[in-house]
Structure 1
């Protein structure tokens, strides 16, 4: 994402500055929902993100306080990326996007069981995602 910060005071513009490109929410999805923690594993995403874009987004998310980065205690050459509380607060937005996409995308891979779980206890579902991601 380019560093074109909009200083308009608009909350939508602020959010778009942080994650308003094709790749940002995919990376956040993988860290928040799928528990992906390493650069190499993020690179394996089905969407096929380029290495330079992934590195750039991770750096921007860290600077924005969306994720944290630390050395892997089992492999000092590798870093572990974790969602922060600020980043975990994006879970409701992503859940809403899942529901919206499931409604309008005939090719969605979201299962009925997951959608029912969200519909039955949306807040509980979101809390579980957030708690698990923050462990």
Structure 2
């Protein structure tokens, strides 16, 4: 784990310091379930994450050991991003957030086994 001075001893508060912003779990979602591995593919997500924020979040995810960055092109240097085992261990968290959102907010669901999404009617 990256060295970090946490503001709280609470595990929930500590986790939110890493992943509690608007974008981080959406990046993990796209890496985990949508097969997006490049900066451009992640930026082209439906939520249109700004490039400066995407860059900062990917750097932070790598520092915390959730994402591994691998160069796939040298000139210009371009990277592919892959979840580490630690990053993949967030899947149950994402599934629970998705189930809660579907139940209480009416959002669509994604089945990682079939790689298919269901959209809410309307």
Q: TM-score range by the shorter chain?
A: 0.7 to 0.9
Contact 1:71 / 1:80 at 8 angstroms: preserved in 2? yes
Q: Secondary structure at the match of 2:9?
A: coil
Could you list the runs of 4 or more consecutive aligned residues of structure 1 that deviate by over 3 angstroms after TM superposition? none
Q: TM-score, normalised by structure 2?
A: 0.81
Q: TM-score, normalised by structure 1?
A: 0.74
2:109 corresponds in structure 1 to: 110
Cα displacement (A) at 1:5: 4.6
Write out per-residue CA displacement over residues 85-111 of structure 1, whole angstroms, 9 at most, x where no aligned residue: 1111100000011111111123x2226
Q: Distance in 2 between matches of 1:29 and 1:5?
A: 27
Instruction: State how 1:24-63 maps to structure 2 within 5 Å.
Output: 24-63=24-63
1:101 corresponds in structure 2 to: 101
More helix by share: 1
Q: Distance in 2 between matches of 1:35 and 1:14?
A: 28
Structure 2 spans left out of the alignment, 5+ residues = 116-122
Q: Secondary structure at the match of 2:109?
A: coil
CA RMSD of aligned residues (A): 2.2
1:18 corresponds in structure 2 to: 18
Residue 9 in structure 1 maps to residue 9 in structure 2? yes
Q: Distance in 2 between matches of 1:85 and 1:14?
A: 19
More strand by share: 2
Q: Distance in 2 between matches of 1:34 and 1:99?
A: 18
Tell me the matched-pair count. Answer: 110
Structure 1 spans left out of the alignment, 5+ residues = 119-124, 130-135
